Structure 1
Amino acid sequence: MHKLFKNVTEVLDLVEGFRNKTVAKSDWTHEAHLAVGVWFLSNFDRFEATCLLKSGIVELNYSMGGENTPREGYHETITLLWIWLIDKYLKANEGKELLELVNGFLQNEYSERNVLLKFYSKEVLFSTKARAIWVDPDRRLLTSPF
């Protein structure tokens, strides 16, 4: 079970920390990644949100002392698949408030970290190619995320 957010201020503080590159590494959890994704996709169109999320993740990795290499850091396919999953969820839940959207997605089966392995084998998902560019799933078909 994921840690849920107690109030919208927690979500907004996290987003501010992401945008300012001040979020603590210990707070940059799987849930935090997803909550930030929900906020961006709720506040920008999918393409603008994608650009902002991609560049923000790369910059945040560097600000935390991490690297973005062929083996670690930013992962294109994983990021784009999460954006696609969040976007589908948001379209099915239009009109809800941010806190309800964030916590609702975190309680959804598609927020589980291993859900990506329903679409991809480990070999494909964790390949250098998938880290660098979008790679179509090899297990379960989906329409292109973009």
Structure 2
Amino acid sequence: MTELPFRPFPDDAAILRVGQGLLDHSLPRAEWTHEAHLAATTWLVRDRPDIAIDAEIATIIRSYNVAVGGVNDDTQGYHDTITRAYLSGVQAHVAARPSGESLVACVNALLGSPAGRRDWPLHFYSRDRLFSVAARRGFIPPDLASLPGPC
């Protein structure tokens, strides 16, 4: 049996736990994985219209990082350009999914797609540009190709 390149979520409840844990800072830091980032963002985009995701995502993640003992500086913690690149991918993914689809099916489809890969932003950004301090501090536009959704 071939191992998946990502850890799929077993059900909607597991995704809700991650999303709520991000918002209320109860998610253990060790569980804030790449998959958790994408699952929580998908839940926020899809199921939380009360949250203005484009305006609030930076504050949500920065405050979570600090609450669990992390630091947001020039070398670690919140990275605005990576976050906003993935947010554009999540928004495009959610918009293309069938209405009525379960949250877990939507999230696992994203994780299994090119937009769910850890290197996905490098399709749009050169490595030096993406991993620059300027890109961490604030959104900078891509230099290789346009992102699929709003930024």
Same-fold status (TM-score > 0.5): yes
* Correspondence for 1:20: 24
Q: With structure 2 as the length reference, what TM-score do the two structures score?
A: 0.89
Q: With structure 1 as the length reference, what TM-score do the two structures score?
A: 0.92
* Correspondence for 1:110: 115
How many pairs were matched up? 146
Structure 1 unaligned regions, length at least 5: none
Compute the RMSD of aligned alpha carbons: 1.8
Q: How does 1:49-64 map to 2 (within 5 A)?
A: 49-64=53-68
- Report SS of the residue matched to 1:113: coil
Q: Percent identity?
A: 29
* Correspondence for 1:7: 11
Structure 2 unaligned regions, length at least 5: none
* Correspondence for 2:35: 31
Q: Which runs of 4+ in 1 moved over 4 A?
A: none
Q: CA deviation at 1:143?
A: 6.2
The one-letter amino acid of 1:7's match is: D
The one-letter amino acid of 2:150's match is: P
* Alpha-carbon displacement from aligned partner over 1:12-32 (angstroms, at most 9, x marks no partner): 111111111011111110000
* Alpha-carbon displacement from aligned partner over 1:44-96 (angstroms, at most 9, x marks no partner): 45x80223322111011101211111221111111111110000011110412
Counterpart Cα distance in 2 of 1:70 and 1:8: 35
Counterpart Cα distance in 1 of 2:102 and 2:13: 13
The one-letter amino acid of 1:86's match is: V
Counterpart Cα distance in 2 of 1:88 and 1:72: 27
Deviates more, 1:136-145 or 1:22-31: 136-145
